[in-house]
Amino acid sequence: MTTGLVLLRLTSLCGVLALAGCATLPDGRTWGEDTSVQPGWQRAGRAALTAVESPGFWLPLAGAVVLQIDNWDHRISSWARRETPIFGSQQSATEWSDRLRSASAYAYFATVAVTPGGEEPAPWLLDKARGLAVGAAAIVVTDEASALLKRAAARERPNGQDDESMPSSHASRSAVLTELGRRNMQWVDVSDTTRGVVDAGLTGLTLGTGWARVEAGFHYPSDVLVGMAIGDFNGAYASSGKEPIGAI
């Protein structure tokens, strides 16, 4: 196991210890207890609208469009592959893209661990399982959507390896995990400062994952931004509203 990966796992563990919150909300409700596999059209519609209105969805899409101006998409990609300003080499960028994607998963599970649960073991486990099922569904949908779009777009990668450049599945997977984590943190009673730090950290994981893929030569910046939009939408949709919904 590399030193970098060990540090990322230790950071996630420290996050769990630092953010451990109350077992239930003031009104007695727990994370996951209201999850449903049949949320109803009205609830699903509200969730979809909330997800579309989220800056994490429309802002990356707008950025992807802007990057088509004057061939900026290709220019940035060429510069990033040549200079590798953050990760030092394409090989290092490839390795870090995997590490940061994994760190996104660790961060997500850390937020699940600190969400309010029941006082008794059985209800606690059941509520956590329900909430995790919703998260798993969002992740699966994100992966499938990314795979379908890759085949439909058939965009050649900057490094010429294949035609699966659009969108970045690394970015979409990281984005759905961090968005789910961000929504989970809304259940946890922490200070505004702590919440801001956590939000910034989650955002950094996704941005870092995406940029690493650009430096590694696997994606153009617009591929990463589209992937981020896909992941954010599914994460926001699955957990939109006061409680997670079962968008399965």
Per-residue pLDDT of the chain (248 residues; tens, 9 = 90+): 454 544 444 344 334 333 333 333 434 455 555 555 455 566 667 777 778 788 899 999 999 999 999 999 999 999 999 999 999 999 999 999 999 999 999 999 999 988 877 677 777 788 788 888 889 999 999 999 999 999 999 999 999 999 999 999 999 999 999 999 999 998 888 899 999 999 999 999 999 999 999 999 999 999 999 999 999 999 999 886 444 443 33
Q: Is residue 247 part of a domain?
A: no
Please provide the distance, in angstroms rounded to a whole number, between the alpha carbons at the two ends of the chain.
35
Tell me what pLDDT residue 60 has. 97
Q: Is residue 243 part of a domain?
A: no
Q: Is residue 5 part of a domain?
A: no
Residue ranges making up the domain that contains 187: 31-238
Residue 184, classed as helix, strand or coil, is helix
Q: Is residue 12 part of a domain?
A: no
Q: Is residue 160 part of a domain?
A: yes
The number of domains in the chain is 1
- pTM of the predicted model as reported, rounded to 2 decimal places: 0.82
Nearest CA among 158, 135, 157 for reference residue 231: 135
Task: With beta carbons less than 8 A apart as the criterion, state whether 229 and 61 touch.
Answer: yes
Q: Is residue 48 part of a domain?
A: yes
Residue 110, classed as helix, strand or coil, is helix
Tracing tokens 């994490």 back to the chain, one arrives at 56
